[in-house]
Every structure is written in C-alpha cells, then in structure tokens.
Amino acid sequence: MTAAARMQRAKALVGRSSALSNPVIIGFAAQGFVLTMAFSRSTWQAPLLTSLAAALGSLAPSCGLLLITRRIAGRRGWTRPRPIMVLASLSAASVLRSTISVAIIEMPSSAVKAHADSLGRTIAALFVSLAICIGLAAITQLARERGALLASLLAEQSRLRGLADSMEQDLLRAEVDLRVRASALLEPTIAEIRAMLDGEVSPDEAARIATRISASVNDVVRPASRVLAVSPSISVSALAPLRPARLDLRRDRMDVAGAIRPGWVLLLTWVTVIPAPLIVGMPRSAIAVGLAASLVFWILLQVTKLMWPPHWRSLTILPGLGILFAVFFLGNLLFQLALVRSAGGAAMSQAWTAITPVGLVLRIAIAMLVVVLAMLDEHGRQSRAALAELNAELEELIAQLRRQTWLLHRSVALAVHGPVQSALVSTSMRLASSQRTQASVDDARRRLDQALMAISRQRHEDVSIDDALDDLRGLWQGVVRIDVDIDAGARSRLAADTGLRRCVIEVCRESASNAIRHGRARTVAISIVESAGRIGVQVRDDGTGLGSPSPAGLGTAMLDDTCLRWSLRDAEGGGAELIATVV
C-alpha cells in the first residue's frame, strides 16, 4: 500500500461518522471519569464527593459537545471523512472536561500553586483522550466495514442460491410454452410442404415446391426464430448490505502473533504519556531510564512475536486477547518498576501518568487498542481477499448461469433456426437439383419429419459431438461435402461438459449453414481442437466469400452469446473462414 493510500485509509478510519459514534463517546466518558477521579484523589487529595462531582459535572458538557457536533455534522451530510473536525471536537471536549473539573476541585487559594500541575494534567488528559478515542473510532469503523462486507457477501450468496434453485423450474416452464408457440407457428407450413411431397413428384412440381419452401423460410421460419430467441435477463446488480454482522469473540479467530505491534505500542505510549511529565519536569536520568526500559520492552515484544508457538498462532479472539493482555501487563509492569526505581522517580511525583497505577492502566489500554486495531485490520484484509476470491467464483457461476439460460431458452429458437431451417433449405436444394432422384425426395420427407420432431425435442435429449456432426453431414449429403476433424483433447472435454458440447454443435451448424446458404459452398471443413482448457472451432469453406456485409441476425447473436471470441473473414484462396473460441 502506498503512502497516499495509507493516508486515505487513516482518514477513513478517523474521519467517518463512527469517530463520534456512541461507543467512542462512551469510551471518552469512561476514561474521562477515571482520569478526573485519579487526578483529584492523588494530586489534590479531594474528598470523594468532591471528586465524584468534578468527574460527573465535567462529563455532561464535554460529552454534550461531542453529541452536538455529531448531530450538526449528520444534518449537513457526513458523506466524506472529516478527520480535522473529529480531532478538533475531541480536543475541545477534553480541554473543556479538564477545565471544568479543575474549577470544581481547586480552591482559589491554591490556584497559582497548582497552575503547572493543572496544565500538565490538561495536556496529559488531552493526549490520552485522543489516543483512546481515535483507537475506539478506528475499531468501530473497522467493525462496521467488516460487518457490512460479510452481510453483503451472505446476501449475494443467498440470492445466487435462490436464483439457481428457481431458474431451473421457471425456464423449463418457459421452454414448454415456447415449444407450443413454435409448433403453432411452423407445423401448418411444414405439414403443407410435407403433403406436397406425398406420392410422385414431377420436375415442375419439384421446382414449385422448392420455391414454396424458400418463401416459407424467409416469411415464416426466420421471423419465428427471431420471435422465439428473446432470452430472459439475469439481474446481477449489487444488493444493499444487510444488517452488519457482529464480531463473535467466542468463534471468530485472530492471528495472535500478528496482532503484536511493538513499534506502534511504544510510539503511542510515549506520544500519549510523556508530554505532561515533560511540562511538569522530568529529570534526564528518568528520561534515560525510560528510554532504556522502552528499548528492552520493544526487544522482548519482538522476541515474543518471532518465537510465538505456531500451534498457538491462530486462536479464538477471547483467549487470544487474554494472552496478549497478560503479555502487555507484565511488560508494562516491569517498565513501570524501572521508572519508579530510577533516580528521578521521586522528582516525578506530579508526573502521575508515568509512574502511578493509573499510568500503568493507560499504557496497557493503549497497547490493547493497538492489538484490537491490528486484529480488525487483519480480519479486514482476510475478508477482502475472501470476497475477491468469491467474486471470481460468482462471476464464473453467473457466466455458467447465463450460458445455461441461453441453452434452455434458445433451444427452441435454435431448433427452428438450425435443424428446421436447414432441413427446409436442404430439401429445397435437393428438389431443385437436376440430379434429383426418388431417394432424394424420400430423404426430404424424412428431414421434414425430423424438423417437426426437433421443435418438440426436450433439452435432456442430448447427443454426442460425433452423432451431431454425422447428422449435419447427412443433412447436406448429396448437396455439400462436410469434412470434420476433432482432436482427442477436444473430444474428451466435450464429452464431459454437456453445455459446452451443445454450444460447439450450434456453432458448427450455424457456420456450415451460412457457408452453404450465403456463400454457395460445395465443401465445408470443420476442425475442433482443445488448447489451455478452451475449445477452438475453425470452419472453412470454398464458397464465394463474405461479399457485402449483412445485418446481424440470430446466428450472430448466438455466436456472441456462446463464444469467448469469434471472427469471420475471407480465406486465402477463396471462400470464408470462421474462427471461434468457446469456454
């Protein structure tokens, strides 16, 4: 991640509406109450009731300031990160709380004497409040993002499962309805042509029937195939996220060693705790001891991180946090003992954030905030990676659903456009041929009967690639020679994938039909090969070539729907060549 991206991410974590959410304000109130009670009881030795009054009395206006800021920002539309507003409001609330509590506790006679202590107290409270509240804001935002991501993911999975369950029955019903419509549109025309072929057919009658068939193809079959080819759409638009999923401390897991961030822990600890003692007065010896203790603590954390047992690395969140709490408690306890025993410990009696039990609690709290942030950040990365992986699987599933939808819905239209139209055209060409025989007329009758059967054939009546291409050769036998070459890899792949096989069959049928009807080809060569998991289809003919471009029809739409890519061009030496890739 680049520096600019990290900066944008930090702004999103700190400047979103979660930065002033209820958990953050509650955390601000809790740590403010603890700080005020600790200051008033240890520094001023104020009575318990006075301390409680100062703690509660200072929280009301400071928390109220945060609530008012959140309300105003929400009304004006909190649609983009506003880290400056968040930091300014938290700082103002912290200073307001400290000022009010000091005013309640301090007596007028001691105001001058306590001035330096009050200033140190205010600065200490400010940095502690910012550190804890920003940590809570980041945790809340990460938890919301994680919950929304998981909810959206589950919603999309549920939608796709429901789509897959319902689509089969819906499309089967649609297929039956379409076959009824197709039969109503085409049976009268085919039955009329079939009746014309009963008995002996003279050359003049054959020519008249051929003309009638050509007119039927143009006036009935092609329009019917276009009407029946309208496919239902599959909506794949994103859904609004469901209610955010909660983090389950007892079931979700965390990377314990990965959540130990020694550098961040030491940096935030010093930035938060040190400013106030420096203002009050910290001897150099104490600074040296603190730095040495911090370095030792950092080394111990690094060693703990590197030497963590592999079988304990992934634990459920609750025991993982407990183990890390113990680690940071012991480390900070040793750190504090080193400060207290230093030469300047006595001179730091007012620098309570460094050497008192409250300071110990604050440092442990900051360390645990870093742990939780690291844990949630890791969960976020894992969730995004899982989402990206699942999205790839969903895209593949949606592509398969679309292909299956096309196969189910257009099986009727393709039966009309392919077998029916080809049967009629081949019959017309046989009848118009000067070499027409009684056998060719009988074959024309058989082809027309097969065309009627193709309209009512159910989709589960599948054929192998060899049978389908043998039938294609037989359809044009005596009119056009069709040569087929299929390599072993393609044959194996097509045998295992019914949908892919049906798509390849339709590509071969459409290409051969176009070469014969539009290119007047006498020879068509079909080659099917497998490469890198994809099926390549090449259809070459010796016809007149492409000629002038024609408007896109059902055949073009079929190639667009079934092929990853395809191209049609004039072949060297004459004729046309189709090259298609099907997945």
pLDDT in tens, 100-114: 888 887 654 444 444
Among 122-131, 238-247, 249-258, 564-573, the minimum mean pLDDT is found in: 238-247
- Which phi and psi angles does 477 have, rounded to 5°? -60, 135
Tokens 């239209």 -> residue: 413
Residue 536 lies in a domain: yes
What mean pLDDT is predicted for residues 130-142? 81
| 505 pLDDT more than 80 | yes
Q: Name the more confident of 351 and 452.
A: 452
Query: Helix (H) and strand (E) counts for the chain?
Result: 19, 7
Contact 133, 90 (CB under 8 A): yes
Higher pLDDT residue, 114 or 186? 186
Contacts 24+ apart (CB under 8 A), 259-263: 259/320, 259/324, 259/371, 259/372, 259/374, 259/375, 259/378, 260/301, 260/304, 260/305, 260/308, 260/324, 260/327, 260/371, 260/374, 261/370, 261/371, 261/374, 262/297, 262/298, 262/301, 262/302, 262/305, 263/298
Residue 238 near residue 143 (C-beta atoms within 8 A): no
For residue 158, give the amino acid letter. S
Poorest-pLDDT segment among 19-23, 257-261, 549-553: 549-553
Q: 324 and 330 in contact (C-beta within 8 Å)?
A: no
Residue 229 inside a domain? The answer is no
Structure confidence at residue 486 as a pLDDT band (50, 70, 90): very high
Q: At 527, give phi and psi (nearest 5°).
A: -125, 130
Report if residue 326 sits inside a domain.
no
- What's residue 54's pLDDT? 85
Q: Which residues of 339-353 are buried (b: 16+ CB within 10 A; e: fewer)?
A: beebebbeebebbbb
Q: Which residue has the higher pLDDT, 65 or 8?
A: 65
State the pLDDT confidence band at 239, using cuts at 50, 70 and 90.
very low
- Residue 127 is assigned to a structural domain of this protein: no
In this structure, the chain runs to a length of 583
CA atoms within 13 A on the CB side of 320: 26
- Of 298, 292, 290, give the one whose Cα is nearest residue 263: 298
Name the nearest CA neighbour of 136 among 36, 249, 271, 26: 26
Lowest mean pLDDT among 101-105, 145-149, 306-310, 547-551: 547-551
Q: Please state, as a whole number, how many other Cβ atoms lie within 10 Å of the Cβ of residue 56.
A: 14
Total tally of structural domains belonging to the chain: 1
Q: Is residue 497 part of a domain?
A: yes
Q: Token pair of 116, please?
A: 């330096």
Q: Containing domain of residue 534, as a range?
A: 464-583
Q: How far apart are CA 76 and CA 68, in angstroms?
A: 12
In a domain, 542, yes or no: yes
In a domain? residue 122: no
Task: Label the pairing between strands 534-541 and 523-531.
Answer: antiparallel
Predicted pLDDT of residue 165: 60
Structure tokens at 406: 């096309």
Q: pLDDT digits over 292-336, tens only?
A: 777 888 888 888 888 888 888 888 888 888 888 888 888 878 777
**Mean pLDDT on 144-159:** 72
- Rounded CA-CA distance 276/355 in Å is 12
pLDDT of residue 129: 84
Report the CATH number at residue 503: 3.30.565.10
pLDDT of residue 576: 92
Minimum mean pLDDT range among 19-23, 220-224, 291-295, 576-580? 220-224
* Mean per-residue pLDDT, 195-219: 77
Cα separation values, 425 from 222, 437, 536, Å: 12, 17, 28
Residue 526 in domain:
yes
Nearest to 98 by CA among 124, 66, 134, 133: 124
Instruction: Report the pLDDT value the prediction gives residue 77, as an integer from 0 to 100.
Output: 83
Residue 49 confidence class, pLDDT cut points 50, 70, 90: confident
Average pLDDT across the chain, whole number: 76
pLDDT at residue number 262: 87
Predicted confidence band at 227 (pLDDT cuts at 50, 70, 90)? low
pLDDT band at 235 (very low <50, low <70, confident <90, very high): very low
Report, as an integer, the average pLDDT of 75-98.
Answer: 87
Mean pLDDT of 192-197: 76
* Residue 117 pLDDT grade (very low, low, confident, very high; cuts 50, 70, 90): low
